[in-house]
Structure 1
Amino acid sequence: MECYVTGIGEDFRADLFFHIDDKQLVDRNNQECNKERDARSEVPLERAQLEHGLDIARDKMCYNDTSGLELLFDDKFTLEGCQETINKTMALKYIWEMIDPKDPFEYHVSMARFEVSTIESIVTIKGIQGKEFVIELHYDPNSQILHRAKSLSCGGPGK
């Protein structure tokens, strides 16, 4: 499975291209990254930023040793009843906050502002213009993997 991911650090934003192999999140240029990992002082700024973004991705992917994040890494998917195809590029450091039932928070997806809230297994992504995308998640305690429900819904402004 391949996906585009935005890695965000304190002073940079780097768009990364990953593929998922089992429970590992691996950069497409992983071999080159590993070779350069021990020589960061000699790595160009852009590569260092990508490396840091990759570290963020791996840390989050291994959180609690679960692989439930994979449902969020579809590059694009179409919501039932919607004409739009939603790009799931997102900031990795917020993914687990989105899965956990916490207070709503804001994050950036493809340079657009969204508000995300969770109630039990329902994740609501509300766009800045008021359109809501509702994603239902199912958690399997035996395998510790989250599954995205087939039924997805989309509401217009104000709904």
Structure 2
Amino acid sequence: MRFAIASLLLAVLVTGCSSTVTGTGSGSGTTSSAPPATTTAAVGTTTTTAAPEPTAPPSVDESAPAQYCDRPFTGALGQEMFAVVVETPSGRLTCDQAEAVLVDYYAQRSEPKTGLPPLAIGPMSCGQVPEGSLPQVVCVDDDNLIYSMWPQR
């Protein structure tokens, strides 16, 4: 598995592509509550910038067009949850990327608790929604808006 990942990374660097990767998808990665540095690599060039300070999660218009992801992940209280990617003018996150961000959030905060400061997960700022509604945790950056939700039965 590590060889495949290393080969993929080498191929990206050789072709001169630039990419930002956020989250682990499997929950096995490590994250910290401090804003991480974002590194963008291209052939011969590396730039490091500080991630923005986390901000309180915005309210979500649940009627906005969105992609409701169908693969469950382990979220709050160790229970199944689903990711939702809200369609925004410049948003580019896929369900896999949204799930990876949310898995990293729940790895650090597995119990729903309001009033905690927002948490930086990669370039996104994530926080627990203060009142009961469909979205549970909302994550946002300059281009994207995602949230987690319990299965609707």
TM-score (norm 2): 0.34
Q: Going by fraction, where is helix more abundant, 1 or 2? A: 1
Structure possessing the higher relative contact order (Cα contacts under 8 Å, 6 or more residues apart): 2
